[in-house]
Structure 1
């Protein structure tokens, strides 16, 4: 028999050996169990558990030893048969952890003079009793959500030497001496429960989380923090809930999950990236939040959702100041899964789904089209188009049906994790594919990730390297983007194509039909199918962190991370001829390659100390970031053949271009956190950033914050059986913004291009010299934007935190916004210079609530969140300029305007006031000379007798009054159900799709026009059909502005987990099958494709230009653990 010396310094061992020899006989003679709370060490010392895990008793001792100076002495066989301990992520005091760990038997433990904890197992006097009838009791132990608790302890109160543990599914079986026995159920992080057996043979128990024991830890900047200590506006995402939503990207699954977090689905195209906004709009520039992955800034779109362990959202300046200028729009912190001690554990997740698009817009078929068009020509007094009267036999094609089809999606993931105390590993691989509901669109992704953790120098040095690789390939169509690109949508092109045109022609060169000349040009299905447009992205992320424990409470952490992204975009057009306006006489190719390298180096010192009622933590750090971007591209408009796809394989005009950019950020930061008696909390942060994006005189910016919290529920005077938590919070802080281009304070020179080249000499062979011009003016005085934010909040828990509420109200003011100032075109400058010429105020509120309950085999939980925000521009440009945007096509039909005194991107439209019913009404109105009965009436708001842009009015915006999400989950025995609802209220949408399809001078039109106004249909609210639209009924007006509010069942999932007794001897720890349906129904008054689309822009939020629609889906999947 050997005695273990765990973690003792060498110079202690000789002395300690003498002590042990003297007590050895005493220890060996102990034959009865007993327990004593004789603890000589500080009971206030706290231990952090970084993740849910199952540990042996000795591994728990190692966990304590690594975070303290304590060591353990015990007989080597003392815990050989002890059950493993299930510990949850969080923070707890040592004495509570030891009591829970050793709860399977009675022990005495005490602190020796040398800082060693001696563990003594004692036997009890065995009294002979009259034998009683043994009775078997079975049951299940779960938490309040119905989740089984494997490893929970079940003891007989009258004889604690008799006990058992629950299995993986939370099931147990125990023999009791009689019906008068009492069973004691315990589990680390949960309250202990006692149940008298009585006449029961099955006892199912639900344990409540212990709010005063193991407390939840959430992610904060450069570390973690107990949720009880948090004084800032930070939200922790329920990972189990978002992973129930089958999706390719993490951001989409976050929609509606967190108050104050808006995830806008700009387009439903495969592989598209949602737009994330935290607390609305804080600037007129870049509003994207900072994303931090395992401590290093990164890209959320490249993470496999199955790899995620935790997500936190930092919403206010107090929480985000530690990241300085990078965090002006909030922070999304993500940690990925890491290894756990134990044998290799294999997890497999797989699903397949079918998707369909069923919320289209009805367009006219051939006969309906002819009826509408003939009426339009007749109302215009013009002869109809020849194809309407020629009697030719045209097709009656369903262009929408040929363009949109059902899609297939599949996702497969595998994860392997395990390890020892000295080395843990986690490896994962995943594959995702979506074929798209539109022809020739698809997306697939292959991802891998490896995380390692090494414990060296007896736990004083921890090294954690990680590497991930993602390859994404996207094939798609060109779409109008949210910002700065109002080009014509392919969807509108499909919906407007004449049904008279044939789609396919088996006798043609490429299988697609060329329309007769009288039907015009174009075959959008053929053009989409033949256009080979691909985008390939390779993304490699590497980071390594090393944490060295210098002495008790003081850690030094070094972290280095690199993100390397290579992209290749190629667009190949073969030869085709679909009419004079849709011809590509020669095959052409354009390519673009980019490389982006980002490096981050962090060095931090973290000191944490508890003494008496005081907890203090200090963080000091230095960070350096560097980014490099390079791009090179070219094109050739006449390749030799459709089969030769190389830029050099042609005789046409070749062009090339490129761009290089480099930026750096140097930062110094610190944070002080103080907690007095778990009642009073204060935290302060400061950061100084130096950016290469500003001239030397304005390079550095200083940012700071302070936050306060008061745990009223921990006060001695506060005694309430109803209220278990009451914590008001306050924070104030400043942040900067440098999300602009690199070196814009310098003048720029443009070169190349036909208009800048100069020929010299005479004759046919003139040498050409590349010319150059100044394309921008220097702006050396530009400096940081700065945002000051105030947040007031309160956290409330009722019924032992079974019912929770959280409320926040915030205000922020951004000053010195960086805006582009217009200058005359005669200056020759092609880009407007930047200046600190804008101020913006933003305010809003956030509310969330959750409730959980359980009763025997049934448990359920409900959570909801709702938030709203508004903004006001208080300064814009040098002379309070106004910006117009929201263009429906190129620079035509602007629908939004941003100016001082209002929100960003408000709708600015003519006011439509019904339909003229008679010529007398037209004449009396007097400001629409080209109008006739059946046309829209527009209001002359300023009464000057003319209808012009001065009559436009502000009419709300695409920003909702509030947005919300509701989660419901329930478990009954082995069945589980989850529902997720999401929606918005009070936002407007400008229906650009309806505007275009109400035009009778285009090719095809909406079927709504069959019900247009006519002398025999004067009750219609649709203006008359008239070719040429002399009244300009389609001008940007309130007529096409619709309520964009909606309520949607986003996700419905039903699952079944097979019990162990059914799987028998199969090598399977857990098997769950599920069926999921997404976007099953939407309640909305919006008549367009989808009210959730097109809501991510800054100046044009809520402008529907005909984006790729969202799909509904039906999914079958499984989760398997080996």
Structure 2
């Protein structure tokens, strides 16, 4: 929805390490935008539509990020220097942490600094072009639309989205404020095996921000406001051009001309221009963070308002978040951490991505018609109607609320041995209402409706996760660094759905669109409902072995038992054994 200036250029180049070897999967991001890409196997990249004078950031795990100002479309050769300090940084890998240099398998990290540069509307947007092998697409152009995330392509015939873990519990990216996120860790292959069947499509681990010990209260605010508009409109015949082509077609078939006098038609109506408009977007984020000698705290709040570039009164989105995260050292060996997140969103949408939607009609409705003229004769066919009228007869609203939180105890029994127990809770409910008024667009139109109706839907979803695991780390003979993890996990998800339809809405008006007021009867069933209750019990273990920082071994096993499986296949075991050798010199 953002627009580009007149001096946009296409750039290309190659990313290498200090020895000239290509770096596949390096991230190239245009600062202060959502535009980005990654290098291919040979370290090459292409990025289109970059504004002349823009700054790009080139980054890869274990290397120092490099920034360049783009002044021409000349091919770039970019060499990244190793960041030895960064390789010693600790990353989250699921039920534990590892140093970056010791991670086996494919793990990508997206930091808070990247999030601040991108300023995504949705947390999932932060993964666009910032993590190799991760595809993020949006099936919807409406404000507040969800994003589809695929890690290394399609992995199953069912839900192909990755497992999302937020501070240890199973959550959703659209329920958290991007400004509250400290890091993303994306587990792409064997590393995801620690989550068993749930991690078959990859795992996205989200760590939210927290306070620091012995630091004064720090108040931070960031916000922005901007204007959105379509990048371009599709080529479109004006009224005179449209009439001439139609006349030629009719004349070739020996039929009377539909437009015998075209001299007064002019350009007519450009229906795309009538639909598209500039739309504002505004975001405000406020946080307070700090800590004492034995405690930390983080408080955050945010508000987002986004209008659609088509019919902003019928297409808009708002979101509000409140976040709290506290940490306490109860004793030298016992630590307690808790967090809570509240999320509220409201959304209105118009039809999209299908035949008969306003955008479809904007491209097919005759430019010779006036702004409020209906195709009463059916001249344009039975599926094409006035898009402006169609939008004015579109009524719906959606609202949702969730509260989620964690409670965690960590006990260090002796040096190198820790036991962690964590409970994550989530409750989400939403309501949706759709109103279909009595409307007529012309003879035989499929969108004509001779009886008003209202559909109301309510969903309630609850879940909890209880994980308990022990971790033991020991170095033998100064070269054998070994970490064992053993644990158990219990999960439950339950909820219900209720949908009802009412007919003959009073005054044929959105104001009275409610089942309690609709007094019409229907011969068919006008209600539906369902309930669900799903449970999962798991045991897991992991061995992480490092010999003299040269050879790495990770072995993972998990046993899952789910109520969703058939009785004869109730249990599934996942085993992974990735081995990595690190050599001190490159071999070509």
- Aligned twin of 2:75: none
**1:448 and 2:311 correspond:** no
1:327 to 189, 199, 206: 199
Does structure 2 retain, via aligned residues, the 8 Å contact 1:252–1:265?
no
Deviations 1:548-594 (A, max 9, x none): 11222111111111121111111123444433424444542111111
- Shifted more, 540-549 versus 580-589: the winner is 580-589
Measure the CA separation in 2 of the matches of 1:678 and 1:490: 60
Listed one character per residue, the Cα deviations across residues 976-1009 of structure 1 (whole Å, up to 9, x for unaligned) are xxxxxxxxxxxxxxxxxxxxxxxxxxxxxxxxxx
1:613-661 Cα distance to aligned partner (Å, 9 max, x none): 2221111011111111311011123112223221021232351111112
Aligned equivalent of 1:284, options 141, 145, 157 = 157
Match of 2:406 in 1: 543
1:683 to 545, 554, 565: 554
1:370 and 2:370 equivalent? Answer: no
Give me the whole-angstrom Cα distance separating, in 2, the residues matched to 1:323 and 1:352. 40
Which residue of structure 2 aligns with residue 560 of structure 1?
A: 423
- Asked if 1:625 corresponds to 2:491, the answer is yes
Output aligned runs, 1:1071-1090, within 5 Å: none
Coordinate RMSD, CA, aligned: 2.6
The one of 424, 432, 452 aligned to 1:569: 432
The answer as to 2:128 corresponding to 1:255 is: yes
Partners of 2:350 and 2:378 in 1: CA distance: 27
Asked whether the 8 Å contact 1:255–1:262 carries over to 2, the reply is yes
Gaps of 5+ in 1: 1-89, 91-142, 147-207, 481-485, 505-512, 719-725, 729-793, 795-1122
Q: 2:298 aligns with which of 426, 437, 449?
A: 426
Contact 2:225 2:282 in 1 (8 A): yes
- 1:516 Cα deviation from its structure 2 partner: 4.8
- Structure 2 unaligned segments of length 5 or more: list them: 1-60, 68-80
Residues 502 and 515, structure 1, Cα contact 8 Å, conserved in 2: no
Aligned 8 A contact 2:111 2:182 in 1? no
Distance 1:214 1:517 in 2: 71
CA distance in 2, matches of 1:372, 1:662: 61
C-alpha separation in 1, matches of 2:261 and 2:254? 19
CA distance 1:488–1:524, shift in 2 (3 Å): closer
Structure 1 pair 281–391 and aligned structure 2 pair: CA distance change class (3 A): closer
Give, in angstroms, the shift of residue 250 of structure 1: 1.7
Q: Give the counterpart of 2:457 among 592, 603, 609.
A: 592
Where 1:495 maps in the other structure, the secondary structure is helix
Give the secondary structure class of the aligned counterpart of 1:244.
Answer: helix
In 2 relative to 1, CA 519–487 (structure 1 residues): closer, same or farther, beyond 3 Å?
A: closer
Q: Describe how 1:56-75 pairs up with structure 2 within 5 A.
A: none
- Distance, in Å, in 2 between the alignment partners of 1:298 and 1:285 is 19
- SS of the equivalent of 2:516 reads coil
Greater RCO (CA < 8 Å, at least 6 residues apart): 1
Contact 1:325 1:689 in 2 (8 A): yes
SS in 1 for 2:251: helix
- 1:345 equivalenced with 2:345 (yes/no): no
Aligned in 2, Cα 1:538/1:586: closer, same or farther, shift over 3 Å? same
1:406 to 278, 283, 292: 278
In structure 1, which of residues 634, 637, 642 is the aligned counterpart of residue 503 of structure 2? 637
Contact 1:304–1:430 at 8 Å: present in 2 too? Answer: yes
Task: Give CA deviations for 1:497-542 in whole Å, capped at 9, x if unaligned.
Answer: 12232224xxxxxxxx545546567322122133221111212211
Residues 236 and 270 of structure 2 are in contact (CA less than 8 Å); yes or no, is this contact kept in structure 1? no
Pick the aligned partner of 2:520 from 652, 655, 666: 652
Conservation of the 8 A alpha-carbon contact between 2:555 and 2:578: yes
- Counterparts of residues 117-516 of structure 1 (less than 5 Å): 211=84, 215-316=88-189, 318-341=190-213, 342-385=215-258, 388-389=259-260, 396-439=268-311, 440-457=314-331, 459-480=332-353, 487-504=355-372, 513-516=373-376
SS at the partner of 2:84?
coil
Distance (whole Å) between structure 1 residues aligned to residue 370 and residue 298 of structure 2: 55
Distance 1:145 1:474, change over 3 A: same
Superimposed CA distance per residue, residues 895-948 of structure 1 (whole angstroms, 9 cap, x where no aligned partner): xxxxxxxxxxxxxxxxxxxxxxxxxxxxxxxxxxxxxxxxxxxxxxxxxxxxxx
> Does the 8 Å CA contact 1:242/1:254 hold for their aligned counterparts?
no
Query: Whole-Å Cα distance in 2 between the matches of residues 238 and 707 of structure 1?
Result: 26
Q: With structure 2 as the length reference, what TM-score do the two structures score?
A: 0.80
Instruction: Show CA shifts across 1:305-327 (max 9, x none).
Output: 111101111111x2011000001
8 Å CA contact retained: 1:498, 1:519? no
- Provide the C-alpha distance between the structure 2 equivalents of 1:518 and 1:589, rounded to a whole number of angstroms: 28
The answer to whether the Cα contact below 8 Å between 2:134 and 2:149 also exists between their aligned partners in 1 is yes
For residues 348 and 496 of structure 1, do their structure 2 counterparts lie closer, same or farther at Cα, with a shift above 3 Å needed? same
| 1:601 equivalent in alignment to 2:474 | no
**1:672-751 pair list within 5 angstroms:** 672-713=543-584
Q: CA deviation at 1:210?
A: 7.0
| DSSP 3-state at the match of 2:157 | coil
Deviation sequence 1:792-843 (CA, Å, 0-9, x none): xx9xxxxxxxxxxxxxxxxxxxxxxxxxxxxxxxxxxxxxxxxxxxxxxxxx
In 2, the alpha carbon distance for the partners of 1:471 and 1:690 equals 34
| SS at 2:191 equivalent | helix
Query: Deviation at 1:296?
Result: 1.0
Distance in 2 (CA, whole Å) between partners of 1:390 and 1:579 is: 24
Tell whether the 8 Å contact from 1:514 to 1:577 is kept in structure 2 after alignment.
no
Give the SS at the match of 1:491. helix
Would you say the 8 A contact 2:194–2:556 is kept in 1? yes
Say if 1:614 and 1:674, in contact at 8 Å, map to a contact too.
yes
Q: CA deviation at 1:691?
A: 1.4
Q: Which runs of 4+ in 1 moved over 6 A?
A: 143-146, 390-395
Per-residue deviation, 1:349: 0.6
Partner of 1:610: 475
Task: Compute the displacement of 1:246 (Å).
Answer: 2.8
Which structure has the larger Rg? 1
On the 8 A contact 1:625/1:666 being kept in 2, the answer is yes
SS in 1 for 2:129: coil
2:452 aligned with 1:578: no
Distance in 1 of aligned mates of 2:565 and 2:399: 33
CA distance in 1 between partners of 2:249 and 2:86 (Å): 76
Report the count of equivalent residues.
498
Counterparts of 1:516 and 1:297, CA distance in 2: 53
**Residues 589 and 278 (structure 1), Cα distance of their counterparts in 2 relative to 1, 3 Å cut:** same
User: Structure 1 residues 436, 212: CA separation in 2 closer, same or farther (over 3 Å shift)?
Assistant: closer
Alpha-carbon deviations, 1:834-871, whole Å to 9, x = none? xxxxxxxxxxxxxxxxxxxxxxxxxxxxxxxxxxxxxx
Q: Which whole-Å deviations, capped at 9, do the CAs of 1:1079-1108 have from their partners, x for residues lacking one?
A: xxxxxxxxxxxxxxxxxxxxxxxxxxxxxx
**632 and 652 in structure 1: CA distance in 2 versus 1, 3 angstrom threshold:** same
Q: Distance in 2 between matches of 1:253 and 1:374?
A: 51
- The whole-number CA distance in structure 2 between the counterparts of 1:529 and 1:428 is 38
User: Aligned equivalents of 2:85 and 2:274: distance in 1?
Assistant: 62
